[in-house]
Structure 1
Amino acid sequence: MNPTTKPEKSADDSGDNEAERAVTATAEKNDAPGPNLAKEPGETPEAGRTDGVDGDGASDADGDDGDVLGDDLDGEYTPPPSSGLAAASAALVSLLLSLVSLIGTWSGKVISERETLVGQIDLGQTGTAEQQISEIYGDAWHAIALTNGIFAVLALIAGLVALGLPQRKSWVRPFAVAGLVLAALGLLISVGMYFDVFVSLPEPPPAQAPPAG
């Protein structure tokens, strides 16, 4: 036997060495430092977000305000309730104008006197009796009827407006209805007077033939 010859390793020694190397590699792998998951002092859990402010600079409060504004825009606007002043005023105006159309006005009297004066100037002393009655008296009466009829129409319009507007007082509707009734009556009388339905113009007596001489 040659003393310089190295003894061959047995299969058992090789297997033991490989097992030791595997255990050593596993231990080194377990001892390796992992990723640092600890949070630094003052660092927030979410990156790019600090104290309620998003990364784009918009705060949570702004988002809430936007939601409230959106709700207001989606809802319908409710106007404030009417005070009823317009309806009350229209009802009173209708009632007063209807009374004026029945009893007459100072303006109607002035227009009547003007028509009388115009008739006298136009006829002079040459007009017949029929012409004098028509121009001096008939036109004056018709002018009064026309003036009263205009006031009656205005009273009708005011009464209809009062009924169409919002009413807050209980007396508004009765006043408006009374104005409409009186205005209709005044308009009826004015139309009858203007067309000589109720009272016709007087007629002069027929001219007598001169006695035979």
Structure 2
Amino acid sequence: MATESTKITETTDSNTEGEQDETRDPKQLRESPVDEAVEGEGEDADASGEAADDDVLDTSVDTAPAGGFAAGAVAVVSAGLGLCSLTGTPLGDMLRARKELIGQIEANTGGAGGAGGDQIDAFYGAPWHTAAFMNGVFALAAVVIGGVLLALHAGRADTRPWVKAVALGGLVLGAIGLLVAGGMYFDLFASKPELPQRTG
């Protein structure tokens, strides 16, 4: 009898524990300290992975090639000189005005010889050729600077495309400026004025 009562008591206790397990929240049954620890480690790993990725991205941005700061400045200078060779500069205008003034002084004081051709050359030819010479100097500087810059950075991958484009633009403008200055200096675009021949 004692054995049967003991079995009945154990069966009742096991049933009671089963009912208590069933009354627990299923979420609480799934979650355990081990699972929480694993999830915590996973979150830390994700966070560290994201931080590592951010570090890699930041490093790549910091180490990106600057494209040549000095090369860009030189390219802009070349383009500016090429443009000045076509439009003229205050320096060229000043030298041309100086030549005109010298021609007027020589004509008034008889320094030009009094001949009509000499006066025309003093009033027109010398100032015109001075302006052409100055424009040619600026054009030559643009061609040399742009050409050297393109030669140095033609095969370099770290040079930004706009630097090469601006340098090429300065080279082209300088070449055109050389042609225009040469035509002005040698009177290809317009001949020197001539006095009409006197009759009788």
The alignment's TM-score, normalised by the length of structure 2, stands at 0.60
How do residues 36-115 of structure 1 correspond to structure 2 at under 5 angstroms?
A: 83-115=67-99
Which residue of 1 is the match for residue 128 of structure 2? Answer: 141
1:183 aligns with 2:155: no
Unaligned regions of 5+ residues in structure 2, if any? 1-64
Q: CA deviation at 1:168?
A: 2.2
Which residue of 1 is the match for residue 27 of structure 2? Answer: none
Which residue of 1 is the match for residue 151 of structure 2? Answer: 164
Counterpart of 1:100 in structure 2: which amino acid? C
Q: CA deviation at 1:123?
A: 2.4
**Deviation larger for 82-91 or 177-186:** 82-91
The DSSP-based 3-state class of the residue aligned with 1:171 is helix
The DSSP-based 3-state class of the residue aligned with 1:165 is helix
Counterpart of 1:188 in structure 2: which amino acid? L
1:165-211 alpha-carbon deviations (Å, 9 max, x no partner): 345211111111111111000011101111112211111110121xx
Counterpart of 1:175 in structure 2: which amino acid? V
Computing the radius of gyration from Cα coordinates, the structure with the larger value is 1
Which residue of 1 is the match for residue 185 of structure 2? Answer: 194
Q: Conserved in 2, the CA contact under 8 Å of 1:87 and 1:172?
A: yes
1:82-107 alpha-carbon deviations (Å, 9 max, x no partner): 75122211211111100000000111
Q: CA deviation at 1:149?
A: 0.4
Q: Conserved in 2, the CA contact under 8 Å of 1:86 and 1:162?
A: no
Q: Conserved in 2, the CA contact under 8 Å of 1:130 and 1:204?
A: yes
Q: Conserved in 1, the CA contact under 8 Å of 2:125 and 2:192?
A: yes
Going from structure 1 to structure 2, the CA distance change for 1:125 and 1:205 (only over 3 Å counts) comes to farther
Which residue of 2 is the match for residue 120 of structure 1? Answer: 104
Which residue of 2 is the match for residue 203 of structure 1? Answer: 194
The DSSP-based 3-state class of the residue aligned with 2:150 is helix
Q: Conserved in 1, the CA contact under 8 Å of 2:85 and 2:135?
A: yes
Q: Conserved in 1, the CA contact under 8 Å of 2:78 and 2:170?
A: yes
Q: Conserved in 2, the CA contact under 8 Å of 1:145 and 1:191?
A: yes
Q: Conserved in 1, the CA contact under 8 Å of 2:67 and 2:160?
A: no
The DSSP-based 3-state class of the residue aligned with 1:201 is coil
Counterpart of 1:187 in structure 2: which amino acid? L
Unaligned regions of 5+ residues in structure 1, if any? 1-80
Runs of 4 or more above 6 Å deviation:
none
Counterpart of 1:208 in structure 2: which amino acid? T
Q: Conserved in 2, the CA contact under 8 Å of 1:84 and 1:165?
A: no
Mapped partners of 2:172, 2:165: distance in 1: 11
The alignment's TM-score, normalised by the length of structure 1, stands at 0.57
Mapped partners of 1:161, 1:125: distance in 2: 49
Q: Conserved in 2, the CA contact under 8 Å of 1:87 and 1:165?
A: no
